């Protein structure tokens, strides 16, 4: 019988709150943190004033400074009180001591090995399946991962990330569609993204491999710049892949309109942890839209990438099913319910 990881993790959280002062204090602070919700089109964006996040927002991820610091995900550098639930002997699921979510997990590889999604995507799907009511997310090494030298995912409760309930209702431009499987892109949430929705692990992995094969790869990078959010509901995987154009927005270090934000998967999912009170007080809907468009690819760029895949799938659909339909733009528009 498969282990009940959701239950084991619930016990881990309780145990760590009880045993470890840092965790208890930081989660108590979070439960009292000020929040306000902005409405960006149909999308809710929760702003959270969270001074505890200053270190991760301003983390220096230059290889030289990474090499100098002790890795906080390696056993030998972790506090004795930091406990874990082992997943398949390959990842340790731990309580994140500096939370954004009221239940915030870090899921790190047991070995010290660079952050990469290559060879890890199926793990992400299976983790999402095992962690019921959680969204598992991945920040690429140049897209917000605070330890680019140590492979890790994170997870937070689904209900805390507005995006997870918004995305399945959005209009998707279909690239490939089969029995209960949908692969397409969404442009209506101000952060153009690819969306895979399928009950099949093989299908999800195949579509992800095809996608990552056509995403732009920058010089000197080990993989395309992406954030991924993945959750499993009603026997179906939902995967959002958000391609990025840059790590930090221009406003990160620009005078008057400066915001100390370093958007990663949580922010793309609609939960922004702002470490400085002045940013929390002054940020507006247009600022959020500007920051998203600054760090994400544009709808036109995502459309061009989709066209490469669409031609491929158009061919595949004809081969496999003998039929195919496409609109003038080359994509079929539909709303998933």
The site for Zn ion (CB under 5 A) is made up of 71, 73-74, 112, 150
Closest C-alpha among 199, 197, 202, 265 to residue 228: 265
In the complex, minimum distance from the CB of residue 119 to Zn ion, in angstroms, rounded to a whole number: 18
The helix (H) or strand (E) run that includes residue 194 is strand 193-198
Edge to edge, the sheet with strand 35-40 lists 35-40, 43-49, 271-274
**Based on CB atoms, which residue is closest to Zn ion, 102 or 112?**
112
**Based on CB atoms, which residue is closest to Zn ion, 70 or 255?**
70
DSSP strand pairing (181-186 vs 152-157): unpaired
3-state secondary structure of 132: coil
**Based on CB atoms, which residue is closest to Zn ion, 149 or 176?**
149
d(CA 301, CA 26): 40
Say if CB 281 and CB 270 are below 8 A apart: no
d(CA 332, CA 175): 8
Closest C-alpha among 175, 182, 185, 143 to residue 301: 185
Which residue's Cβ lies closest to Zn ion?
71
**Based on CB atoms, which residue is closest to Zn ion, 74 or 126?**
74
In the complex, minimum distance from the CB of residue 106 to Zn ion, in angstroms, rounded to a whole number: 12
In the complex, minimum distance from the CB of residue 154 to Zn ion, in angstroms, rounded to a whole number: 15
In the complex, minimum distance from the CB of residue 12 to Zn ion, in angstroms, rounded to a whole number: 20
**Based on CB atoms, which residue is closest to Zn ion, 49 or 138?**
138
In the complex, minimum distance from the CB of residue 264 to Zn ion, in angstroms, rounded to a whole number: 19
């Amino acid at each position: 019988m498969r282990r009940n990881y959701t239950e084991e993790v619930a016990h881990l959280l309780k145990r760590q709150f009880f045993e470890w002062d840092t965790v208890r204090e930081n989660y108590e602070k979070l439960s009292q943190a000020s929040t306000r919700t902005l409405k960006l089109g149909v999308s809710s964006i929760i702003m959270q004033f969270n001074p505890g996040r200053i270190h991760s927002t301003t983390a220096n991820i230059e290889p030289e400074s990474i090499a100098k610091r002790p890795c906080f995900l390696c056993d030998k550098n972790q506090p004795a009180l930091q406990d874990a639930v082992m997943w398949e002997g390959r990842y340790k699921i731990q309580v994140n001591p500096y939370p954004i979510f009221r239940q915030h997990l870090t899921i790190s590889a047991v070995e010290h090995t660079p952050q990469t999604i290559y060879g890890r995507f199926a793990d992400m799907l299976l983790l999402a399946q095992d962690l019921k009511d959680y969204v598992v997310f991945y920040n690429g090494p140049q897209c917000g991962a605070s330890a680019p030298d140590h492979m890790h995912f994170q997870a937070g409760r689904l209900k805390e990330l507005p995006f997870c309930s918004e995305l399945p209702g959005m209009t998707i431009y279909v690239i490939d569609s089969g029995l209960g499987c949908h692969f397409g892109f969404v442009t209506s949430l101000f952060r153009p993204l690819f969306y895979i929705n399928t009950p099949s692990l093989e299908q999800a992995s195949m579509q992800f491999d095809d996608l990552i094969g056509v995403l732009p790869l920058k010089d000197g990078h080990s993989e395309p710049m992406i954030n991924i959010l993945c959750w499993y509901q009603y026997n179906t995987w939902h995967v959002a892949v958000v391609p990025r154009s840059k790590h930090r927005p221009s406003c990160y270090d620009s005078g008057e309109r400066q915001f100390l934000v370093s958007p990663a998967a949580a922010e793309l999912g609609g939960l922004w942890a702002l470490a400085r009170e002045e940013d929390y007080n002054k940020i507006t809907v247009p600022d959020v839209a500007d920051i998203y468009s600054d760090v994400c690819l544009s709808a036109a760029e995502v459309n061009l990438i989709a066209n490469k895949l669409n031609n491929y799938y158009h061919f595949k659909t004809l081969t496999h099913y003998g039929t195919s339909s496409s609109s003038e733009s080359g994509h079929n528009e539909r709303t998933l319910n």
